[in-house]
Amino acid sequence: MAIWKIDQAHSHVEFKVKHLVVSSAKGEFTKFDGTVEATKDDFTDAKISFEADTDSISTGHEQRDGHLKSDDFFNVASFPKLKFVSTEIKQTDKEYYNMKGNLTIRDKTLPVSLNVVYGGTTKDGYGRMVAGFEVHGKINRKDYGLKWSMATEAGGMVVADEVKIDIAVEIVKQA
């Protein structure tokens, strides 16, 4: 069994949500960790665990970040981590996978399905084995208790319920 760890310096955990119906607001978690355990080189038997510090949420706007950390959204004081644990990985093409797992945000754990693109495996400049992946999916924020909402004058929502997830990750094989 090979153990792989996320290389945080070469990985990004980002999200995007519609704002005022006409544009999107983007953000990221800057502190996260994860482990991949696999016996197969193609990762089809991988067991993945991931967590992000909710207090590390950053949208580039201090006031919005403060609101996202409040009980209206992540409530970082009570729920300092969001977590994902894989339950199934299916290869759908040479480099494409579908990954199912359980995502926990606040006190809600729900199944999610994510699309994964396997970029390949190579040695880095230090002789370590490195693999790269892109992960994409979407969730409904209200399913997880991220409840704040407000309607615009035109009847649309200030913040949409659907949140798109975009993760680019490099993992390093542990000795």
Q: What are 70-81's pLDDT values in tens digits?
A: 998 899 999 999
Nearest one of 145, 149, 167, 168 to 159, comparing CA atoms? 149
User: What are the pLDDT digits (tens) for 77-106?
Assistant: 999 999 999 999 999 998 999 999 999 999
DSSP-assigned letter for residue 125: T
Confidence of residue 157 (pLDDT cuts 50, 70, 90): very low
Q: How far is CA 76 from CA 56, 68, 140, 142, 151, in A?
A: 9, 9, 19, 16, 25
User: What are the pLDDT digits (tens) for 22-70?
Assistant: 567 899 999 999 999 999 999 999 999 999 999 999 999 899 899 889 9
Tokens encoding 78: 């009570």
Residues 168, 170: Cα–Cα separation, whole Å: 7
Confidence of residue 118 (pLDDT cuts 50, 70, 90): very high
In this prediction, residue 158 carries a pLDDT of 57
Q: How far is CA 91 from CA 115, 129, 148, in A?
A: 10, 21, 37
Contact in structure between 34 and 62 (CB atoms under 8 Å): no
In this prediction, residue 22 carries a pLDDT of 59
Q: What is the pTM of this model?
A: 0.92
Contact in structure between 168 and 11 (CB atoms under 8 Å): yes
Q: Return the minimum-mean-pLDDT range out of 19-33, 56-70, 113-127, 159-173.
A: 19-33
- Residues forming beta bridges with residue 117, ordered by sequence position: 96, 134
